[in-house]
């Protein structure tokens, strides 16, 4: 593994200018694969947030009056420019987050490009409801952009999820102040130069880097920020919810998950196994949609456990730059310690570790934050901590079940409700089970297939509100019903 270069110093991006933080201080951000600092992230404060909000507020009125065709053209230019630099962004994302470069090249950056293209085209085909009330009045809906949006994105899919927020914000005529995670700020900072090159006017998109208390809180609490889109942990989401409630701000919260992956005995076994490897360990398990609780019907339980364990043991944990690597490093030492803690909790409770359960410490990996893909069996289906609490790493449990009713009860037993997967060749059973799962998305015989027209979000502690297609339009726009007497 090559040595890190001199750490790069990032800047905030306010009113289309790259500016140092008012504090003059920076946060050390390590490369997860080496453990060594590779980036200095601005440790921004309220003064930086205030400057960014002022720029976004000044830009809002002229930007909100631009035509959909103009905004579409800007978004398409952003997509084209990002696509031209795909390899560069993929390498940067890997070095900052720990994921394999191959994953960033095939998923993260292409999906970021797609986010811009999707909203660039969808805004050209929007429709509104009209009614004629028995010849007495004609009624229609008028939408207007809300204003300055706070867009707060997580560290697991940094550019992918940031652009999922920026693209519709631009598309529907709002302006924004973005606060990416302090753990993974590099590709957000790189995107700023593309925004300038694509002709995004000053103030329409601003980036303030830093941690939650110093930069995030002043942004959430700012009186000139009427709407907040946040993706991240449930505990932080609760803090944002309480702060926003004081001013009745519009909220979209996509929070944690403890997702069930349900495999019936009649499932296509090979497809279920192949996809379960991905849904368990992709991006080191650091995806909110990963199926961390696998429930397998008892007729095929032993066979499934043995085969998933065999394939997990065969996965390559290593240098994220190597094409052969399947799993890279976890995002930080703190997060790695959290994942290892939960594995230890399972061990002490008498659970079986049938794969992994340890750090990957060979050679160049010794100083990085690597953990082997881990499979746990022999835990209580609903009461074990590893069944109830979000681990957010390469750790899954496998639990047997007998009946349809039993597995639905198991799946619904957590406080979360983000997603689930159901594997069966019985179409009626698939529909029956899917409709009983209290989650935002159910995949039947697949995983992570996303149609951006569909609503995305969670139930219960997994979130509030929906985004995607018309649901993003409803979030970034206010509605007025206009009633005209005939």
The set of catalytic residues is: 254, 288
Q: Whole-angstrom Cα distance, residue 147 to residue 247?
A: 14
CA distances from 393 to 150, 193, 233, 239, 458 (A): 28, 32, 14, 24, 20
Residue where the block lists tokens 């649901």: 471
First-last CA distance in the chain:
74
Q: Whole-angstrom Cα distance, residue 142 to residue 137?
A: 16
Helix H, strand E, coil C: the string for 245-291 is HCCCCEEEEECCCCCEEEECCCCCHHHHHHHHHHHHHHHHHCCCCCC
Alpha helices for 371-467 (secondary structure H): 385-388, 404-411, 427-436
What's the chain's length in residues?
Answer: 486
Q: 124, exposed or middle or buried, with CB in 10 Å at 0-12, 13-18, 19+?
A: exposed
Q: Whole-angstrom Cα distance, residue 416 to residue 259?
A: 8
Q: Is the dihedral of CA 317, 322, 324, 327 positive or negative?
A: positive
Q: 214, exposed or middle or buried, with CB in 10 Å at 0-12, 13-18, 19+?
A: buried
In the sheet with 130-133, reading across from the earlier edge strand, the strands are 130-133, 137-145, 477-485
Residue 138 β-bridge partners: 132, 484
Q: Can you spell out the DSSP letters for 283-343?
A: GGG--TT---EEEEEGGGHHHHHHHHHHHHHHSPB--TTSTT-SB---S-HHHHHHHHHHH
Q: Whole-angstrom Cα distance, residue 77 to residue 299?
A: 53
Residue where the block lists tokens 């289906």: 381
CA distances from 1 to 179, 367, 391 (A): 31, 11, 28
């Amino acid at each position: 593994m090559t040595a890190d270069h001199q750490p790069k110093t990032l800047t905030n991006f306010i009113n289309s200018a790259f500016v140092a933080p008012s504090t003059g201080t920076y946060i050390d951000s390590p490369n997860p694969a080496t453990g060594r600092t590779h980036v200095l992230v601005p440790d921004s404060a309220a003064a930086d947030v205030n400057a960014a909000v002022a720029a976004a507020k000044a830009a809002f009125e002229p930007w909100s009056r631009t035509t959909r065709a103009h905004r579409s053209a800007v978004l398409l230019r952003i997509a084209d420019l990002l696509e031209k630099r795909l390899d560069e962004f993929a390498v940067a994302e890997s070095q900052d987050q720990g994921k394999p470069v191959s994953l960033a090249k095939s998923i993260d950056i292409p999906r970021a490009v797609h986010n811009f293209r999707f909203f660039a085209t969808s805004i050209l085909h929007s429709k509104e409801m009209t009614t004629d009330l028995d010849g007495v009045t004609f009624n229609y809906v008028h939408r207007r952009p809300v204003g300055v949006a706070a867009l707060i994105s997580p560290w697991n899919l940094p550019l992918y999820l940031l652009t999922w927020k920026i693209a519709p914000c631009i598309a529907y005529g709002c302006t924004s102040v973005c606060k990416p995670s302090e753990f993974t700020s590099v590709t957000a900072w790189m995107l700023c130069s593309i925004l300038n090159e694509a002709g995004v006017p000053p103030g329409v998109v601003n980036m303030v880097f830093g941690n939650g208390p110093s930069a995030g809180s002043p942004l959430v609490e700012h009186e000139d920020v009427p709407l907040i889109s946040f993706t991240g942990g449930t505990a932080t989401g609760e803090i944002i919810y309480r702060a926003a409630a004081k001013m009745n701000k519009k909220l979209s919260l996509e929070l944690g998950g403890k997702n069930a992956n349900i495999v019936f005995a009649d499932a296509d076994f090979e497809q279920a196994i192949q996809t379960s490897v991905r849904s368990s360990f992709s991006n080191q398990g650091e995806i909110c949609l990963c199926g961390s609780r696998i429930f397998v019907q008892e007729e095929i339980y032993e066979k499934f456990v043995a085969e998933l364990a065999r394939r997990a043991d065969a996965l390559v944990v290593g240098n994220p730059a190597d094409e052969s690597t399947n799993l890279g490093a976890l995002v930080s030492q703190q997060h790695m310690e959290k994942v290892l803690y939960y594995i230890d909790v399972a061990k002490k409770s008498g659970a079986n570790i049938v794969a992994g359960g340890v750090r990957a410490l060979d050679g160049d990996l010794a100083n990085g934050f690597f953990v082997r893909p881990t499979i746990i069996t022999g835990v209580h289906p609903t009461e074990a901590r590893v069944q109830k609490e979000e681990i957010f790493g390469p750790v899954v449990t496998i639990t047997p079940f007998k009946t349809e009713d039993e597995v639905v009860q198991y799946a619904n037993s957590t406080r979360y409700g983000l997603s689930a997967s159901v594997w069966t060749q019985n179409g009626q059973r698939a529909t029956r089970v899917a409709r009983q799962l209290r989650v935002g998305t159910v995949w039947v015989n697949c995983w992570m297939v996303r149609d951006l027209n569909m609503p995305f979000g969670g139930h219960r502690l997994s979130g509030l509100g929906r985004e995607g297609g018309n649901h993003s339009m409803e979030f970034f726009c206010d509605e007025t019903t206009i009633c005209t007497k005939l």
